[in-house]
Amino acid sequence: MTRRRFLGTAATLGAGAVAVPAVASPTVHPPGWSGTARVEKIATTCEMCFWRCGVLASVEGGKVVRVEGNPDHPQNQGRLCARGNAGTGLLHDPDRLKTPLLRVGERGEGRFKPVSWDEALDFLAGRLVKLRDEHGPESVAFFPHGNGARFFATLMRAYGTPNSAEPSFAQCRGPREVGYSLTFGQGLGSPEPVDLEEARLVVLIGSHLGENVFTSQITAFATGLARGAKLIAVDPRFSLAASKADWWLPIRPGTDIALLLAWMNVLIAEDLCDKEYLKTYASGFDRLANHVREFTPEWAEAITEIPAAKIRETARAMGKAKPAVAVHPGRHVTWYGDDTQRARAMAILTALLGSWGRKGGIFLPTPIPRGSFDLPDFPEPKRGRADGAGKRFPLAIEELGVTNGLIDATLSGDPYPIKAWIVYGQNMLESIPQPARTVEAIGKLDLMVVVDVLPVEQIKYADLVLPEATYLERYDPPTIVESAKRPFIAVRSPACEPLYESKPGWWIAKELAKRLKLEAFFPWDTPEQHLEKILKPTGFGARELLNRGAVAFPGKPYLEDRAPVDRTFDTASGKIELYSEALAKIGADPLPRYTPPVEPPKGFFRLIYGRAPVHSFARSQNNEALDALMSENEVWLATSVARDWGVTEGQRIVLENVEGVKSSPVRVKVTEGIRSDCAYLVHGFGQQSRALRRAFGRGASDNSLMSRVSVDPLTGGTGMRVNFVRAARA
């Protein structure tokens, strides 16, 4: 796609997307949230990914027949991506879990009998009471994902376990949140507040905007480029974004910190930093300047394989465009195990350019007040967390937890035995690397429960499976997005009754709470009452939010919008910390330092991975409409590598990693658009659940080839780009 055509698609958001014409606001939501036959359009929130776009669901005779973008929604203003448009494909997926299932065969055989909800919840409550009595409530670990899991999270706290962890931390953005918090006193949150539309220069380091499609982000990116923003794309692969770039820097994988240090070296040596900004807001500049003096572009060239002249040229472009330089912090950042330090380096670069809190850089969140319930005190766990957050991984954020830390604890029994897992809305065998370890850990459990919409692979290891309603059939707690220029509250509300025997998460949690005598933690009878309480301080009522789908508030996204007294930073010094006292205190590098990545053994190539615009993680491959757009992935190989391997375009091969794990067959794409030391796969394919009749066995699973990780000692994040593959015999 040419840059001109890409810019022309600003309104269409990537393959398969459509621009939605403005429509009138949705009609009134029905009382009691049933009897939807009287309603034409229900305003709700998309959950085909986590970006929280507003949708209007058209309902005819109680059936959702179509979704379209909500034109009044601040997040997407009527636009949906291809996945958002395919939402009814999830609702009507014939492979959906339809009824609670109780295991009848051996664990792993995948043999179940259908049971009623009463039977399922009585079984689960009974087992949870027994586990609490015999092993303590901490022996139960919770692995949530998504908004629907939040009620269940309350239940787990009330039950008494501190052990909850989601892959959005240790397999995704955890090191980023920590690295930016160490520097600016606050993380970035989600969606990440990058001011792409106002930027004069965008810097992408391994971020695949355009292949990774989120409505407002891709619109802002295309708008910025259309207004003349320059683009630097650092990527071993000629990604879609790289194809639009003014500078494509095909970096040697794992050497990004060296490039970042060299950029800092040039900015400081050539006096290109925002000096006034640094003087006002930052501390530690002299120590940083001393630190980076030796990291010249020539030093970095030998490491990164990017010519020194290009490093200087790009640093100068940043100096010229400052402060309107959007250094995108990335989202999935768990690559090499030094990821918190790489995030720190990106944060420091942002600070040197004066871009934090400035137009065209990173904008600031605006707090929104929210109400809360007067709940009983949550029990204080007798034993601390088992995942290592706060101890083995001193900077891990406890509210998000370390999934792999809980898997380690389950395998070792250290610091104490973990006896049960409740996995909610995620496929651990595709979202967490080293899947063989995950299966081994499941083998140690007394109880494995899965709550999901689809029969993903891990359900074959479950003792109990609970079918959750899809996002078009359920209420979820309101989503409060402060990291937007116009912050907003949005709600997910049911457009139709749950199909089959599926149930919404709030109902499952409340019913289980009754059986565990914990109903005091759910002091509301209907979702609307819950919503009313949360909204109280905002001045909006539940009915208004349900009718509109979202309400926006005025934002103060830039430092200049704020009174001088509010321009401080939540660090120990109240300043932007270029030199981190917090890291020095725990014996870590207070300034980022380059550490060489593990190199592939002879004959192997580094496995890198990314996204496709029409799929979300491993969640959408069974969707009929999205399958029609992309039904399998392909492995990208450099022309020279394909020649050496003796394979040709379109041929199916099997990939094998260093440990001998083999993928399912995958088609070859031969290209000049990838370095000759890498192989690339789109994530989420090669699924092994036969119950997913469309997705089963299509393409290769990158996660199945991730037998190794390099763990970030600060956060526990699992660096995954340390796996190597070669072609093998099928």
Residue 492 Cβ vs ligand SF4, minimum distance, rounded to whole Å: 11
Q: Tokens for 634?
A: 């392909």
Report in angstroms the alpha-carbon separations of 191 from 14, 194, 329, 402: 18, 9, 11, 21
Of 698, 695, 640, residue with least CA distance to 664: 698
- Toward ligand SF4, which CB reaches closer, 18 or 269? 18
- Toward ligand SF4, which CB reaches closer, 138 or 211? 211
Q: Tokens for 441?
A: 């850990």
Query: What whole-number distance in Å separates Cα of residue 422 and Cα of residue 448?
Result: 6
Q: Spell 381-405 as b/e; 16+ CB within 10 A means b.
A: eeebbbbbbeebbbbbbeebbbbbb
- List 194's β-bridge partners, or say none: 362
Question: Are the beta carbons of 302 and 296 closer than 8 angstroms?
Answer: no
Residue 555 Cβ vs ligand SF4, minimum distance, rounded to whole Å: 20
- List 551's β-bridge partners, or say none: 489
# binding residues, ligand SF4 (CB under 6 A): 13
By CB under 6 A, name the one of 73, 83, 615, 708 that touches ligand SF4.
Answer: 83
Residue 78 Cβ vs ligand SF4, minimum distance, rounded to whole Å: 11
Contact flag: residue 80 with ligand SF4 (CB under 6 A): yes
What's the distance, CA 129 to chain centroid? 33
Residue 467 Cβ vs ligand SF4, minimum distance, rounded to whole Å: 22
Q: Which of residues 39-68 bind ligand SF4 (CB under 6 A)?
A: 46, 48-49, 51-53
Residue 180 Cβ vs ligand SF4, minimum distance, rounded to whole Å: 23
Q: Phi-psi bin for 33: left (phi > 0), alpha (psi -120 to 50), beta? A: left
Query: What whole-number distance in Å separates Cα of residue 510 and Cα of residue 135?
Result: 24
Q: Which residue is nearest to ligand SF4 (CB)?
A: 84
**666-671 and 447-452 as β-strands: parallel, antiparallel, unpaired?**
unpaired
Contact flag: residue 81 with ligand SF4 (CB under 6 A): yes
Residue 20 Cβ vs ligand SF4, minimum distance, rounded to whole Å: 10
Element housing 225 (H / E): helix 215-226
- Toward ligand SF4, which CB reaches closer, 76 or 701? 76
Q: Tokens for 307?
A: 């010519």
Question: Are the beta carbons of 173 and 331 closer than 8 angstroms?
Answer: yes
Binding mask 291-330 for ligand SF4 (x = CB under 6 A): ----------------------------------------
Residue 85 Cβ vs ligand SF4, minimum distance, rounded to whole Å: 7
Element housing 450 (H / E): strand 447-452
Contact flag: residue 626 with ligand SF4 (CB under 6 A): no
- Toward ligand SF4, which CB reaches closer, 341 or 479? 479
Q: Which of residues 7-46 bind ligand SF4 (CB under 6 A)?
A: 46
- Residue 526: strand, helix, or coil: coil
Which span sits near ligand SF4 by CB under 6 A: 77-85, 170-178, 589-597, 697-705?
Answer: 77-85
- Toward ligand SF4, which CB reaches closer, 460 or 615? 615
Question: Are the beta carbons of 7 and 228 closer than 8 angstroms?
Answer: no
Which span sits near ligand SF4 by CB under 6 A: 19-27, 79-87, 342-350, 399-407?
Answer: 79-87
- List 696's β-bridge partners, or say none: 687
Residue 84 Cβ vs ligand SF4, minimum distance, rounded to whole Å: 2
Residue 146 Cβ vs ligand SF4, minimum distance, rounded to whole Å: 12
Provide the H-helix boundaries in 86-149: 87-91, 117-135
Q: What is the DSSP letter of 658?
A: T
Q: Which of residues 206-225 bind ligand SF4 (CB under 6 A)?
A: 214-215
- Toward ligand SF4, which CB reaches closer, 224 or 394? 224
- Toward ligand SF4, which CB reaches closer, 13 or 637? 13
Binding residues for ligand SF4, rule: CB under 6 A, are 46, 48-49, 51-53, 76, 80-81, 83-84, 214-215
